[in-house]
């Protein structure tokens, strides 16, 4: 089974939007969670 090691584009867009809105900690938590699930 192939698991894509990069976050889905939808998650990347969400994280980028949150970061632009001035909430840098939430995108950081999301990317850490995605990385822990994908092994990146």
**Domain boundary assignment for the chain:** 9-38
Rounded distance, CA 22 to CA 28, Å?
A: 12
Looking at the chain, the whole-number percentage of residues with pLDDT higher than 90 is 0
Instruction: Write out the two tokens for 39.
Output: 């092994």
Question: Is the pLDDT assigned to residue 37 strictly greater than 80?
Answer: no
Residue 28's pLDDT is 83
Question: Is the pLDDT assigned to residue 3 strictly greater than 60?
Answer: no
Local confidence band at 4 (pLDDT 50, 70, 90 cut-offs): low
Of 8, 31, 10, 5, nearest to 23 (Cα)? Answer: 31
Rounded distance, CA 38 to CA 12, Å?
A: 14
Q: Does the global pTM surpass 0.75?
A: no
Residue 12's pLDDT is 80
Question: Is the pLDDT assigned to residue 23 strictly greater than 80?
Answer: yes
What's the per-residue H, E or C state across 1-40? CCCCCCCCHHHHHHHHHHHHCCCCHHHHHHHHHHHHHHCC
């Amino acid at each position: 089974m192939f698991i894509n090691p990069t976050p889905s584009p939808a998650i990347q867009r969400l994280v980028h939007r949150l970061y632009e809105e001035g909430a840098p900690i939430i995108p950081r938590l999301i990317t850490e969670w995605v990385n822990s699930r994908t092994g990146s």
